Structure 1
Amino acid sequence: MTGTGHPAEPPNAAPSDGAWPGRALSGGVLYQLQVRTFTPDGTLAAAADRLDHLVQLGVDLVELLPIETPHGLTAFVDACHARGLGVILHVGYEHLDPRSDHAQQAVLASVGRWLREHHLDGLRVQLSGALADPAATRLLAQLAAEVTVLSLQLGRPLSLIAGSEVDDGRLVVPAASATHDHGDPAGCGDFASLESLAAVLVRRFAADPLAHDAGAIGSAHDRITATLSPSLRRVGATLLLTGPAIPIVWMGEEWSSTARPAAPGHRPAPEPAMASAGRGVNAPTRAWWDAATGDAPADGDPAPLDWSELGAPPHRGMLELYRRLIALRRQEPQLTAACGKSTDVRQGDHFLTVRRGSCVVVANLGRTPRRVNVAGVPRRVLLATEPGVSLTHDAVDLPAECAAVVVGRRFDRH
């Protein structure tokens, strides 16, 4: 960062993606990527060399988690855009007091520069305090207006996600989709009941509902790999990628990576010139990221992804399921629709159904086979995580720990 809080790039790093039409977040799949552990090299250039994997996976946008320097960012964005991938950057302003006029102006200017000069498709802005605070609300309104105007000027869609230490995520732009993700202040972690699982499926954003919440992935990764069977992991992937929330795929989960990740909850480094702008009395005295090295504090020695796992049978099968599920989203647009009247989530004794228009996602989380009524006539199985799924007049017979996506006709519609 420069002394003005301006994202610095080498002189020859001008964007080369002038024809890029943009990529909207709504209806897409978001892939969270932490540069320093995505590859052994831990650089943006090395991450760019792995982008074809994301294209084959079928995701729509990459969310870059905290980066210690913007050098190479424009080249990375260009590489993503050349492959049809949008880019969202996570930036942190927790050290600023939103009640300060100077701080508000600094944030507004910084957000505009990130989007304009690096051709980003959106930002996840981390603010101080609760988003319901009147000062934060006013700042969000200003940010929404600025980003909306900039989107019109640039002629391409831009997305703005706001979060804080208390609130997990709110899609601010586009305004038509603005809803609040009412997360647990502690980050949710694993879900203790089918009721809470059903509730999280209708949020605006969702990570793997059986595995983790975006605020607690580091420790949750250990729990899922240690306690969840491979079949339940496949059920979680199905609920994630067919639900009404915008799916968030954490890097490596698409092949059940064994590498222990760093938590995406790590706070980004603040821009130096903004460090004194409107600093509140309760602001942290130390940046979460080490200003000299860009390293996060040790939290169990997070390791880079092991890309050699992709060819191993247990991992290859999971990767194929993720690809099929994302492809199914494109085949059945009703699976990408936001939560509305066509979405109905129901839970019972170790089972869950999620109606998505004429599609129903049926999940058996129990250890024994189960017949699940779908309040309609199932016609065809579009996808199943295990063999042995069969259809009756008004129900789906599922093996243990299995999910299926079926299409049919509802009894209340003709």
Structure 2
Amino acid sequence: MIPLNISNKSLGVSFNTEEQAEVYIWSPKAKKVAISLPDQKKTIALSEGEMGYWQITTSEIKPGDLYKVVLDEEHERPDPASLAQPEGVHGPSQAIDVKSFKWTDSNWNNVPLEDYILYELHTGTFTPEGTFAAMEQKLDYLKELGVNAIEIMPVAQFPGSRNWGYDGVLPFATQDSYGGAEGLQQLVDACHQKGIAVILDVVYNHMGPEGNYLNDFGPYFTEKYNTPWGPALNFDDAGCDGVRKYFTENLLMWFRDFHIDAVRMDAVHAIKDFSATHILREMKMCVNDLMKETGRTHYMIVELDLNDTRFINPLEEQGFGMDAQWVDEFHHALRVTAGGDRNGYYADFTGLQHLAKAYTDAYVYDGQYSPHRDKIFGIKAENNPGKQFIVFSQNHDQVGNRMLGERTSQLSSFEMQKLMAGAVMVSPFLPMLFMGEEYSEPNPFLYFVSHTDPELAEAVRKGRKAEFAAFHAQGEAPDPMAEGTFNESKLQWNLLDKDPHSTMLKYYQTLIRLRKELPALSKLNRRQLDVEPNDEQQTLILHRWHNNDHVVCLMNFSKSPQQVTLPSHVKNWTIVLDSAAPEWKGPASSPDKADAAQSVTVQPESIIIYANHA
């Protein structure tokens, strides 16, 4: 492992207790490295140390100063470990003292992972203002909804002010248009006061194209592997030690200096590393050391498309130690069951049978032949607890990667939306909502960017059109560069007190409350579960229990009423939720009480939840 100071950020410019600036730049290619202070018209030479690091401790750099790194007296570049870019990705970096923030969350304890109810949001479109400060004003709303963990899409500095966040090029710098580093710290502090954990989406598998100056400093990329975004980040090729340190320090910074509770690591299957110690495993070991030092708890969640338990198995079992992963397959099976298209990767999913398998096995493909991949795929996740899997009916990818960015609210009936929400919330996994789904937001979530390089902007436009060339019947793909595309993706908060949106919101609040209150739902024991799909009826019975508490969930995905029989070995069922009831604008109510083996009519596209406290 690369030697790291767990307690402090070393890369870039930081300030010590004597208010001196400590500068530490990795540039093994350079013969000379200096810091330029344009406002003072001054240049400070750095001393060469070991392993390509250049350094100096000086009183000449103060918090708030703008600076650039000068390589070989020729190239001026932003600091790769810059904490602030007030003039954008091409402009000078700004020295800030990230440790000067006055935290008020000393009594905060992270929410236990098994209790997480996640809510994914994008800072720029979550509120009209698109800032951290505006998001803070919505925390009471989120608290009343019942979520206890917000997952913020990436905030690393990207070009312009409109971007999903996956085009970030300065991982240590918090997007200036959102409110910068202090704005994020203030938001996290406020979340903790409300009892809400903060998950930050981080991108360690690629860098964006505009403002990416890393190759001027060192071998950050390798030609050994290709990724969908070009050459892979260099985690195992010559010169990789500095790259591994760079990203590990970044992760530790978010936890230590921003009090982030968990990270969601983007598409880790695209991280290429054949080192004896995989970078994710190394990061986990460092995070464990940090937690010992601070007493705080942090989780590492991964987006993973490999169905490989090695990523989420504990370190002591030679796994990478990741705490949880997104499970796209649950989403895919649910979408197909709900009547969605079966093109692309959805072609692998049969619907109801695969949804039943997702409930029991987490992975749908765990050693079977995958037609879409044309190979046997996956491994069984037999010993991984339910808290290691995050499921959803929609997320930024599944919505935004559609040409017109349609949410479930535009693709499914009001009744089916309620059924899909219920199907997620009663699973033995961690449920996640995508912003706005809780009140059936009709606005799309489109793909948008604001590149300042005209050639790159045009290339993105053409690429988006080419990607959907076969979909002309739906019209043209919206221009990702247009400000209107971004504005069209913003949530409409004025809908909350209008029907049917207000009804859907109350429905979600009820679902989340039941999830928390009923032990059979809140305890994520994957072995205390029975599932019974019926292809002919298009119904699914999910029975979960904890000690003497039982819940049975009757789901009807068909467009006709269906007769479903309750389990024969449990008596005295009481209805706790019926999505078809008139209070949820449904067609009809079901009996409040039912007994063992009783036949119950389940309305079309609806879910009934019965509870029993034996």
TM-score, normalization: structure 2?
Answer: 0.56
Whole-angstrom CA distance in 2 between matches of 1:83 and 1:107? 30
Point out which structure has higher relative CO (alpha carbons under 8 A, 6+ apart). 1
Kept in 2: contact 1:200–1:206 (CA 8 A): no
1:56 aligns with 2:144: yes
Distance 1:337 1:296, change over 3 A: farther
Give the aligned partner of residue 124 of structure 1.
264
SS at match of 1:261: coil
Which residue identity is paired with 1:401?
A: E
Distance 1:126 1:143, change over 3 A: same
Alignment RMSD: 3.6
Aligned mate of 2:246, from 62, 86, 106 = 106
Structure of higher CA gyration radius: 2
1:86 aligns with 2:162: no
Kept in 2: contact 1:30–1:249 (CA 8 A): yes
1:74 aligns with 2:185: yes
Kept in 2: contact 1:365–1:400 (CA 8 A): yes
Aligned mate of 2:607, from 381, 403, 406 = 403
Query: Once the 2 structures are TM-superposed, how far is the Cα of residue 215 of structure 1 from its aligned partner?
Result: 2.8
The gaps in structure 1 that reach 5 residues or longer are 270-284, 289-294
Kept in 2: contact 1:15–1:119 (CA 8 A): no
1:162 aligns with 2:308: no
SS at match of 1:215: helix
Whole-angstrom CA distance in 1 between matches of 2:185 and 2:324? 30
Aligned residues: 381
Distance 1:385 1:187, change over 3 A: closer
Distance 1:129 1:364, change over 3 A: closer
Query: Once the 2 structures are TM-superposed, how far is the Cα of residue 371 of structure 1 from its aligned partner?
Result: 1.7
Cα deviation, 1:138-176, whole Å, max 9, x if unaligned, reads: 112112222223223322321101235767996678998
Whole-angstrom CA distance in 1 between matches of 2:308 and 2:266? 9
Kept in 1: contact 2:150–2:199 (CA 8 A): yes
Give the aligned partner of residue 362 of structure 1.
554
Which residue identity is paired with 1:28?
A: Y
Cα deviation, 1:210-232, whole Å, max 9, x if unaligned, reads: xx355312239626333311111
Give the aligned partner of residue 383 of structure 1.
577
- Of 362-371 and 309-318, deviating more is 362-371
Give the aligned partner of residue 429 of structure 2.
245
Query: Once the 2 structures are TM-superposed, how far is the Cα of residue 77 of structure 1 from its aligned partner?
Result: 0.2
Kept in 1: contact 2:235–2:273 (CA 8 A): no
- Of 12-21 and 35-44, deviating more is 12-21
Which residue identity is paired with 2:283?
A: L
Give the aligned partner of residue 277 of structure 1.
none
Distance 1:246 1:179, change over 3 A: same
Query: Once the 2 structures are TM-superposed, how far is the Cα of residue 359 of structure 1 from its aligned partner?
Result: 0.8
Distance 1:188 1:389, change over 3 A: closer
Kept in 1: contact 2:284–2:322 (CA 8 A): no
Aligned mate of 2:526, from 309, 331, 340 = 340
Whole-angstrom CA distance in 2 between matches of 1:13 and 1:62? 21
Which residue identity is paired with 2:538?
A: H
Distance 1:135 1:194, change over 3 A: farther
Which residue identity is paired with 1:195?
A: Q
Give the aligned partner of residue 350 of structure 1.
538
1:20 aligns with 2:108: yes
Distance 1:401 1:168, change over 3 A: farther
1:97 aligns with 2:97: no
The gaps in structure 2 that reach 5 residues or longer are 1-11, 14-78, 85-95, 158-174, 207-232, 338-350, 363-388, 452-458, 464-478, 582-588
Give the aligned partner of residue 290 of structure 2.
150
Kept in 1: contact 2:441–2:501 (CA 8 A): yes
Kept in 2: contact 1:367–1:400 (CA 8 A): yes
Give the aligned partner of residue 279 of structure 1.
none
Whole-angstrom CA distance in 2 between matches of 1:105 and 1:343? 43
Whole-angstrom CA distance in 1 between matches of 2:333 and 2:533? 20
Query: Once the 2 structures are TM-superposed, how far is the Cα of residue 353 of structure 1 from its aligned partner?
Result: 1.7
Kept in 2: contact 1:329–1:336 (CA 8 A): yes
Kept in 1: contact 2:352–2:538 (CA 8 A): yes
Distance 1:123 1:296, change over 3 A: farther
Which residue identity is paired with 1:365?
A: F
Give the aligned partner of residue 353 of structure 2.
195
SS at match of 1:46: helix
Query: Once the 2 structures are TM-superposed, how far is the Cα of residue 342 of structure 1 from its aligned partner?
Result: 0.6
Whole-angstrom CA distance in 2 between matches of 1:372 and 1:131? 46
Distance 1:145 1:331, change over 3 A: same
